[in-house]
């Protein structure tokens, strides 16, 4: 690293100032609530949101929670007709359409780290992933039931 006068600070014994120099000419966070210089931000120093803050109550209102009981879904393990490969099949969905099944399948695939598809109204995931599939379906409001072998 070179100093403004072209000398190397390590070779000459000169030190670089860490004093900070002149203050900034602007306050980049002035438009935020509590963004002025001596006033702490709401919730600063704690991980809890400030009471009555901008986001209190809005987050829960924006995220719709799935219905508690969306019906029974059978989870089976199949190998027949697949060249000996194991596939986890979730079937028996009632009241949801193809787009929602595809979104649910994508979420399951990502969580399991496996491939899969939606075929004939059933979600198929590669490998024996029954426990992970059951957990995700339960989070989505379904009642997963292990059926078959």
Token pair of 46 as six digits: 């704690």
- How do residues 85-99 score in pLDDT, each as one tens digit? 999 999 999 888 999
- Residue 133: name the closest of 84, 86, 79, 73 by CA: 73
Q: Look at residue 15 and tell me whether its pLDDT is greater than 90.
A: no
- Residue 85: name the closest of 56, 60, 48, 115 by CA: 115
Average pLDDT over residues 109-121: 94
Indicate the pTM of the whole model. 0.54
- How do residues 119-138 score in pLDDT, each as one tens digit? 999 999 999 999 999 999 99
C-alpha to C-alpha distance for 67 and 141, rounded to whole angstroms: 6
Domains and CATH numbers, the chain: 72-146 (3.30.780.10)
Token pair of 76 as six digits: 């089976």
Strand, helix or coil at 134?
Answer: helix
Which residues lie below 8 Å from residue 43, measured CB to CB, with a gap of 6+? Answer: 49, 50, 53
C-alpha to C-alpha distance for 51 and 56, rounded to whole angstroms: 7
- How do residues 24-65 score in pLDDT, each as one tens digit? 677 777 777 765 555 555 555 555 555 555 555 555 556 665
């Amino acid at each position: 690293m070179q100093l403004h006068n072209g000398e190397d600070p390590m070779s000459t014994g000169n030190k670089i100032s860490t004093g900070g120099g002149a203050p900034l000419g602007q306050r980049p966070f002035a438009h935020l609530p509590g963004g002025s210089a001596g006033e702490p931000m709401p919730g600063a120093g704690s991980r809890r949101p400030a009471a009555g803050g901008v986001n209190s109550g809005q987050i829960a209102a924006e995220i719709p929670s799935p219905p508690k009981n969306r019906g029974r879904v059978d989870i089976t393990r199949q190998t027949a007709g697949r060249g000996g490969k194991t596939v986890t099949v979730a079937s028996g969905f009632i009241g949801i359409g193809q787009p929602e099944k595809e979104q649910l399948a994508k979420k399951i695939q990502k969580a399991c780290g496996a491939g899969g598809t939606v075929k004939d109204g059933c979600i198929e995931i590669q490998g024996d992933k029954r426990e992970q599939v059951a957990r995700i379906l339960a989070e989505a409001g379904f009642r997963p039931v292990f059926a078959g072998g």
